[in-house]
């Protein structure tokens, strides 16, 4: 590393060490490696100058003030379970780790809200509030290890979104440290509130590029006491996708509606010793909850049998096992250059057509494909892969990815339903959003962060 | 009017007349009067220079370009049913009326979305989509006459918000004419999407100060086929408010949960010849919908009887009548300086306490009070009034209003649950939001509208 790069970082670190304990600042090589990346594909690996664990709002403010005065970039992260590289280190940055700010500050069952620090684990909050008959609805597959702060930074989705909404819908108020180290509070404790511009929504999903979320008031939902689960196997993935539309047409609202194609079922079987792929070529895993669950399940069973589905009512234990299998379908694998899980969404009427087109693309480019979808909201996670990092294979993979993204856009879709742009998807954002919309966002970024020290090079592409 | 004020307006109008038909530009005194105000209290009456009816996106762009080049302010409006003065004319402005842009551009039942021009009436959209078993959930009391564009500008709420969300939750994508006349599109057609910053939410509720919404893609919800309605009368308004908490604790989610105190019931009886006030001192009007309606109704009846409520199951006709009475409780009256309907929201646990405090305030200041609340989300509409415009009475009214707002804030509430800041509530916004948050919003406003021509003096207070 060139000396002029060490200089500012060195002064910055000296300043931090004056206000933080020894165990809060690390330049250990192992730590730098560990916290250099999240679970997104890595295309430009960079080691951070240091990793800093803040433990309070005041400490975050101190870190940001020091970073601002030395013009050091900050990449803020939680558990690092993001899959778009939003928390990848950038050149000359310091990683600001908020996982130690993990206190649930308040649970108010009557107001149906909780106040949390950003490092609180999604699953831990849910465990704590379940006793009150409440839940925090956003449930990314990583919910057992991902932080609420990370959920907010990426506007995380999950399986329950179609019925219960995404993270944005669950956030009422935020405490945010701005790029100059000042602390602001947005939003309100009440369910409704329209005072001023919606700054809260602007921060949600902004991937740490506009400010650093150091506290959140979230709205909780009722934890359903009744749950009914259907596993419906179809002879083809197209029939399963048609089933999604049939449920919509019947006007029933599952809390979970997951589609898995044959390749996805085979991989699940291989990982878990299950026999799903012997039961059909595609699976709709459907859950209804609440006092209407039984009635909705009955409607769904009739509609899906009409379409050729084999309907199996699953008992609670098997239901839990199936949903867990689905949530953990990625296993311990993280995305890499030779295996990329996409995250497009299309209007639901286009699901059948899009899934057919994906299959054709995979064949044409000679890459492997499996499709899993949060089908209830049209959000698909096709995973393209090639066996090795051999350049021709990677090129074929990228061609298939590009085509799959272009096709989703052609059908009225988006390049990212819930994973975020991060660093990896920057290349596709100009295909979805016009230059004037990108420029407006760049100007908002400059307004909030004039020196460009907050997670630079993420979320929105640089000026061309 | 001074000559230098006529000058720029005159040139501006000449430019408009070159591109619009005669019936699209009016300087008729009656029109200027009619479109000078919305339904909010008037504290600074101003006549606009002209009223302009745009009929297409291109015409809006022409009007904005001309306004920008002549530095003429534009106050954009729909039906003018807002109650915070957000559409009041300001000095030297031209009113841009979008009610003729009233085409439903697309209804897509499979995707559960609609695309509309801003002047489409909320009720007209709902009528058109009911045949598909769908509804546009935001239902401000004005839904029969208010426009979707106005709903979006104010982030309108209504009766069904606690279950179905507010306007922001129903908007997927916006077409917006910016202050320089350019046209941008935000958001996506899909239910989920996290590409870039959430510009859509930033425009929703911004009261025409950041851009002019000329098109919207909205998400529709399932029109319930089963509805159950309870009218539960209580001996005191405090018991009714406690009933709201009891329903929450029982974890049932009404689609409508309206609270009316004795004064509100008496006024409804006076207006409509009903006998509600003879049945109790306070009413909870409760509706459950969907396949769980019957089960939820049963739970609610048990819980509310325990609290001393007299539970009456209403047949569909009476249910419709009661809900209509509630929606139209304002009658034809609009707010005025001697009668102001407030719009605070408090955390639900504070409802009982806040309602008690309101009663004490009214007595202490010698003003009349009635309380109606969207109690399910803690959003209260206390209406304070005095019989005349006599200055001492107006002063007492304003003192009561100020105190009611301060008390709501003290209890963790907001000064506006759904009506917006507009012009009338600017004076209270600094009590809720810190100066640095206000300043951030001013800078966003300046970024979007450097000349300050879009609805100036609304939504956020000027720099002190």
Average pLDDT of the segment spanning B248-268: 95
> Is the pLDDT assigned to residue B335 strictly greater than 80?
no
Give residue-wise pLDDT tens across range A51-98.
999 999 999 999 999 999 999 999 999 999 999 999 999 999 999 999
Indicate the DSSP class of residue A216.
Answer: E
Give the mutation candidate from B158, B173, B190, B220 for the A interface (greatest A CB count, under 10 A). Answer: B190
pLDDT band at A4 (very low <50, low <70, confident <90, very high): very low
Helix (H, G, I), strand (E, B) or coil at A146: coil
Residue B304 lies inside a defined structural domain of this protein: yes
In angstroms, the separation between the Cα of residue A19 and the nearest Cα of chain B is 26
Out of B195, B292, B429, the one facing A421 most closely (by C-beta) is B195
How many other CB atoms are there within 10 angstroms of residue A145's CB atom? 16
Give the pLDDT score at B460: 96
Tell whether A317 and A393 lie within a shared domain: no
Chain B: residue nearest A192 by CA?
B417
Tell whether A356 and A376 lie within a shared domain: yes
Out of B182, B204, B447, the one facing A198 most closely (by C-beta) is B204
pLDDT band at B336 (very low <50, low <70, confident <90, very high): confident
In angstroms, the separation between the Cα of residue A66 and the nearest Cα of chain B is 21
> Is the pLDDT assigned to residue B329 strictly greater than 80?
no
Question: CA nearest B123: which of B111, B140, B101?
Answer: B140
Out of A195, A205, A349, the one facing B108 most closely (by C-beta) is A349
Residue A159 lies inside a defined structural domain of this protein: yes
What residues of chain A lie within 8 A of the CB of B459, using their CB? 196-197
A399 and chain B in contact, CB less than 8 A: no
Average pLDDT of the segment spanning A26-36: 97
A464 CB burial (10 A radius; 0-12, 13-18, 19+): exposed
Give the pLDDT score at A327: 85
> Is the pLDDT assigned to residue A301 strictly greater than 60?
yes
Give the pLDDT score at B272: 87
Tell whether B249 and B154 lie within a shared domain: no
Question: CA nearest B337: which of B409, B381, B401?
Answer: B401
- What CA–CA distance (Å, rounded) separates A140 from A113? 20
Residue with tokens 């809060």: A24
In this predicted structure, which of A39-43, A245-249, A443-447 has the lowest mean pLDDT?
A39-43
In angstroms, the separation between the Cα of residue B188 and the nearest Cα of chain A is 7
What's the angle, vertex CA B381, arms to CA B375 and CA B387, rounded to 5? Answer: 145
**Domain of residue A286, CATH code:** 3.30.70.3450
**Domain of residue A194, CATH code:** 3.30.465.10
Residue with tokens 């993280």: A334
**Parallel, antiparallel, or unpaired: how do β-strands A113-116 and A104-108 relate?**
antiparallel
Percentage helix, strand, coil for chain A under 3-state DSSP, each rounded to 5 = 40, 20, 40
Indicate the DSSP class of residue A463.
Answer: P
Contacts across the A-B interface (CB distance below 8 Å): 250
Find residues 320-379 of chain A whose CB sits inside 8 Å of chain B.
345-349, 374, 377-379
Residue A263 lies inside a defined structural domain of this protein: yes
**Parallel, antiparallel, or unpaired: how do β-strands B212-219 and B171-177 relate?**
antiparallel
Single out the residue in B303, B327, B351 at which a domain terminates.
Answer: B327
In angstroms, the separation between the Cα of residue A6 and the nearest Cα of chain B is 33
A423 and chain B in contact, CB less than 8 A: no
B383 and chain A in contact, CB less than 8 A: no
Tell whether B110 and B162 lie within a shared domain: yes
Which residues 6+ apart lie within 8 Å of B341 measured at CB? Answer: B83, B330, B335, B381, B382, B383
Do residue A197 and residue B444 have CB atoms under 8 angstroms apart? Answer: yes
Which of left, alpha, beta for B261 (phi over 0: left; psi -120 to 50: alpha)? beta
Give the pLDDT score at B331: 60
- What CA–CA distance (Å, rounded) separates B159 from B257? 7
Tell whether A248 and A262 lie within a shared domain: yes
> Is the pLDDT assigned to residue B5 strictly greater than 50?
no
A292 and chain B in contact, CB less than 8 A: yes
Average pLDDT of the segment spanning A216-230: 96
Give residue-wise pLDDT tens across range B266-294.
999 998 899 999 999 999 999 999 999 99
pLDDT band at B371 (very low <50, low <70, confident <90, very high): very high
Find residues 19-78 of chain A whose CB sits inside 8 Å of chain B.
none
Indicate the DSSP class of residue A147.
Answer: B
Give the pLDDT score at A100: 98
Distance spanning both ends of chain A, measured CA to CA: 28
- In which domain, by residue range, is A247 found? 227-327
For residue B140, give both structure tokens.
Answer: 């401000």
Q: What percent of chain A has pLDDT over 70?
A: 97
- What CA–CA distance (Å, rounded) separates B385 from B368? 5
Write out the H or E segment, with its range, that includes residue A339.
strand A339-341
**Domain of residue B40, CATH code:** 3.30.43.10
Tell me how many domains chain A contains: 4
In angstroms, the separation between the Cα of residue B283 and the nearest Cα of chain A is 21
CA dihedral A418, A420, A424, A428 (to 10 degrees): 90
**Parallel, antiparallel, or unpaired: how do β-strands A94-97 and A104-108 relate?**
unpaired
Helix (H, G, I), strand (E, B) or coil at A336: strand
In angstroms, the separation between the Cα of residue A249 and the nearest Cα of chain B is 7
Give the mutation candidate from B167, B196, B224, B348 for the A interface (greatest A CB count, under 10 A). Answer: B196
Give the pLDDT score at B422: 97
Single out the residue in A222, A238, A269 at which a domain terminates.
Answer: A222
Give residue-wise pLDDT tens across range B68-80.
999 999 999 999 9
In angstroms, the separation between the Cα of residue B119 and the nearest Cα of chain A is 22
Do residue B249 and residue A168 have CB atoms under 8 angstroms apart? Answer: no
Give the mutation candidate from A114, A185, A193 for the B interface (greatest B CB count, under 10 A). Answer: A193
What residues of chain B lie within 8 A of the CB of A245, using their CB? 110
Single out the residue in B189, B222, B255 at which a domain terminates.
Answer: B222
Tell whether A412 and A313 lie within a shared domain: no
What's the angle, vertex CA B169, arms to CA A192 and CA B95, rounded to 5? Answer: 85
Average pLDDT of the segment spanning B220-241: 96
A464 and chain B in contact, CB less than 8 A: no
pLDDT band at B2 (very low <50, low <70, confident <90, very high): very low
Give the pLDDT score at A330: 65
Out of A346, A416, A447, the one facing B444 most closely (by C-beta) is A447
Chain A: residue nearest B299 by CA?
A291
Do residue A182 and residue B248 have CB atoms under 8 angstroms apart? Answer: no
Give residue-wise pLDDT tens across range A153-184.
999 999 999 899 999 999 999 999 999 999 99
Out of B111, B197, B413, the one facing A206 most closely (by C-beta) is B197
> Is the pLDDT assigned to residue A329 strictly greater than 90?
no
Tell whether A231 and A276 lie within a shared domain: yes
Tell whether B206 and B237 lie within a shared domain: no
- What CA–CA distance (Å, rounded) separates A198 from A196? 7
In angstroms, the separation between the Cα of residue A24 and the nearest Cα of chain B is 30
Out of A205, A251, A434, the one facing B194 most closely (by C-beta) is A205
What residues of chain A lie within 8 A of the CB of B437, using their CB? 184-186, 196, 199
B180 and chain A in contact, CB less than 8 A: no
Do residue A421 and residue B111 have CB atoms under 8 angstroms apart? Answer: no
Average pLDDT of the segment spanning A103-120: 98
Tell whether A167 and A235 lie within a shared domain: no
Residue B81 lies inside a defined structural domain of this protein: yes
Do residue B438 and residue A196 have CB atoms under 8 angstroms apart? Answer: yes
What residues of chain B lie within 8 A of the CB of A434, using their CB? 184-185
A106-143 core/surface letters (b: 16 or more CB in 10 A; e: else): ebbbebbbbbbbbbbbbebbbebbeebbbbbbbbbbbb
Do residue B188 and residue A133 have CB atoms under 8 angstroms apart? Answer: no
Do residue A415 and residue B192 have CB atoms under 8 angstroms apart? Answer: no
pLDDT band at B48 (very low <50, low <70, confident <90, very high): very high
Tell whether A141 and A238 lie within a shared domain: no
- What CA–CA distance (Å, rounded) separates A77 from A98? 6
| Separate counts of helices (H) and strands (E) for chain A | 17, 18
A112 and chain B in contact, CB less than 8 A: yes
A183 and A61 Cβ atoms separated by less than 8 Å = yes
**Domain of residue A401, CATH code:** 3.30.70.2740
Average pLDDT of the segment spanning B5-33: 88
Chain B: residue nearest A206 by CA?
B197
Query: In sequence order, what are the beta bridge partners of B370?
Result: B383
Give the pLDDT score at B333: 62
Residue A425 lies inside a defined structural domain of this protein: no
- What CA–CA distance (Å, rounded) separates A437 from B318? 50
Q: What percent of chain B has pLDDT over 70?
A: 97
Helix/strand/coil (H/E/C) assignment for every residue in chain B:
CCHHHHHHHHHHHHHHHHHCCHHHEECCHHHHHHCCCCCCCCCCCCCCCEEEECCCHHHHHHHHHHHHHHCCCEEEECCCCCCCCCCCCCCCCEEEECCCCCCEEEEECCCCEEEECCCCEHHHHHHHHHCCCEECCCCCCCCCCCEHHHHHHHCCCCCCHHHHCCHHHHEEEEEEECCCCCEEEEECCCCCCCCCCCHHHHHCCCCCCCCEEEEEEEECEECCCCEEEEEEEECCHHHHHHHHHHHHHCCCCCCEEEEECHHHHHHHHHHHCCCHHHCCCEEEEEEEECCCHHHHHHHHHHHHHHCCCEEEEECHHHHHHHHHHHHCCCCCCCCECCEEECCCECCHHHHHHHHHHHHHHHHHHCCEEEEEEEHHHCEEEEEEECCCCCHHHHHHHHHHHHHHHHHHHHCCCECCCCCCCCCCCCCCHHHHCCHHHHHHHHHHHHHHCCCCCECCCCCCCCCC
How many other CB atoms are there within 10 angstroms of residue B107's CB atom? 18
Tell whether B167 and B189 lie within a shared domain: yes
B151 and chain A in contact, CB less than 8 A: no
- What CA–CA distance (Å, rounded) separates A148 from A167? 9
Residue A438 lies inside a defined structural domain of this protein: no
pLDDT band at B230 (very low <50, low <70, confident <90, very high): very high
B199 and B186 Cβ atoms separated by less than 8 Å = yes
Give the mutation candidate from A197, A226, A243 for the B interface (greatest B CB count, under 10 A). Answer: A197
Residue B418 lies inside a defined structural domain of this protein: no
Give the pLDDT score at B176: 98
For residue B271, give both structure tokens.
Answer: 């207006």
Question: CA nearest A233: which of A301, A327, A183?
Answer: A301
Residue B388 lies inside a defined structural domain of this protein: no
Tell whether B235 and B214 lie within a shared domain: no
- What CA–CA distance (Å, rounded) separates A71 from A263? 48
pLDDT band at B89 (very low <50, low <70, confident <90, very high): very high
For residue B184, give both structure tokens.
Answer: 């941008």
Give residue-wise pLDDT tens across range B169-182.
999 999 999 999 99
A421 and chain B in contact, CB less than 8 A: yes
Out of B184, B345, B460, the one facing A437 most closely (by C-beta) is B184
Chain A: residue nearest B296 by CA?
A291
Give the pLDDT score at A3: 36
pLDDT band at B162 (very low <50, low <70, confident <90, very high): confident
pLDDT band at A14 (very low <50, low <70, confident <90, very high): very high
Do residue B443 and residue A447 have CB atoms under 8 angstroms apart? Answer: yes
What residues of chain B lie within 8 A of the CB of A195, using their CB? 414-416, 421, 425, 429, 432-433
């Amino acid at each position: 590393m060139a000396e002029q790069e060490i200089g500012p970082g060195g002064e910055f670190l000296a300043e931090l060490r004056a206000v933080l304990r020894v165990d809060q600042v690390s330049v250990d090589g192992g730590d730098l490696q560990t916290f250099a990346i999240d679970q997104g594909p890595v295309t430009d690996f960079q080691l951070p100058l240091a990793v800093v664990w803040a433990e309070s709002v005041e400490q975050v403010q101190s870190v940001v003030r020091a970073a601002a005065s030395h013009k050091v970039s900050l990449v803020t992260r939680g558990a690092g379970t993001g899959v778009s590289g939003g928390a990848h280190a950038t050149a000359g940055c310091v990683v600001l780790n908020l996982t130690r700010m993990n206190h649930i500050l308040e649970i108010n069952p009557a107001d149906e809200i909780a106040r949390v620090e950003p490092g609180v684990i999604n699953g831990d909050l849910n465990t704590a509030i379940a006793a009150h008959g409440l839940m925090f609805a956003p449930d990314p597959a990583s919910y057992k290890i991902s932080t609420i702060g990370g959920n907010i930074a990426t506007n995380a989705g999950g399986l329950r979104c179609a019925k219960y909404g995404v993270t944005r819908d669950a956030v009422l108020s935020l405490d945010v440290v701005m790029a100059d180290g000042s602390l602001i509070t947005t939003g309100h404790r009440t369910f409704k509130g329209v005072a001023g511009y919606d700054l809260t929504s602007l921060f949600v999903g902004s991937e740490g590029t506009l400010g650093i979320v150091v506290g959140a008031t979230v709205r909780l939902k009722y934890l359903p006491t009744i749950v009914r689960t259907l596993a419906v196997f179809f002879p083809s993935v197209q029939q399963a996708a048609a089933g999604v539309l049939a449920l919509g047409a019947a006007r029933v609202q599952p809390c979970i509606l997951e589609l898995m194609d044959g390749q996805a079922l085979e991989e699940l079987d291989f990982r878990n010793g299950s026999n799903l792929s012997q039961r059909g070529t595609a699976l709709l895993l459907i859950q209804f909850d609440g006092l209407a669950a039984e009635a909705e399940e009955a409607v769904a069973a009739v509609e899906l049998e009409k379409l050729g589905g084999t309907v199996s009512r699953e008992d609670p234990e098997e239901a839990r096992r199936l949903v867990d299998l689905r949530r953990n379908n990625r296993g311990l694998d993280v995305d890499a250059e030779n295996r990329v899980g996409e995250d497009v969404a299309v209007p639901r009427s286009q699901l059948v057509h899009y899934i057919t087109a994906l299959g054709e693309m995979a064949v044409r480019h000679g890459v492997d494909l499996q499709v899993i979808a949060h089908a209830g909201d049209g959000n698909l996670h096709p995973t393209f892969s090639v066996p090795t990092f051999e350049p021709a294979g990677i090129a074929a993979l990228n061609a298939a990815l590009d085509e799959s993204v272009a096709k989703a856009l052609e059908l009225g879709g988006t390049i990212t339903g819930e994973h975020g742009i991060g660093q990896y998807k920057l290349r596709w954002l100009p295909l979805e959003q016009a230059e004037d919309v990108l420029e407006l966002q760049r100007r908002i970024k400059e307004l909030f962060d004039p020196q460009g020290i907050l997670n630079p090079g993420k979320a929105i592409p640089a000026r061309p």
